[in-house]
Amino acid sequence: MHEDGCHVFPVRVYYEDTDAAGIVYYANYLKFAERARTEMLRAAGFDHHRLLQEHGMAFAVKRFAADYVAPARLDDALEVHTRVVNLRGASIDAQQDIKRDGRDLARCAVTILCLGPDGRPVRLPAELRDRMRTFLNDR
């Protein structure tokens, strides 16, 4: 879903996502964020397979930082709100906020690097760059 320059991805918390205390295990927020970025890419008209086949490139996470504000629990309906903060030649910076009922549970900042077949940084394809501007947080 796309709301006002923000990609919104729904996530349901399943038993497998929780720890012994019944709350979402911290590392699973990274999985929720990854799924949301993948779906944002699809919403922009691309997917990982197409980028690899047509452009010989793939994404790798260069940096991920998270502030955990409140816990999520079993069966919670969450939303991952993703905004592009910066588009550079070979990378994308994004802010991903994981929410329940509009309240932040985790605030994540991620830098994704575009890599060629040799594992070295390559420029984002122009078409992808243009489409990702839809999610650019220019406020």
Q: How far apart are the first and last CA of the chain?
A: 20
In the numeric block, which tokens belong to residue 47? 């997917």
**Does an H or E element contain 2, and which?**
strand 2-3
**Does an H or E element contain 127, and which?**
helix 126-132
Instruction: Just list the catalytic residues.
Output: 19
Contacts for 90 with CB less than 8 Å, ≥ 6 apart = 113, 114, 121, 122, 123, 124
Burial grade of 124 (CB within 10 A; 0-12, 13-18, 19 or more): buried
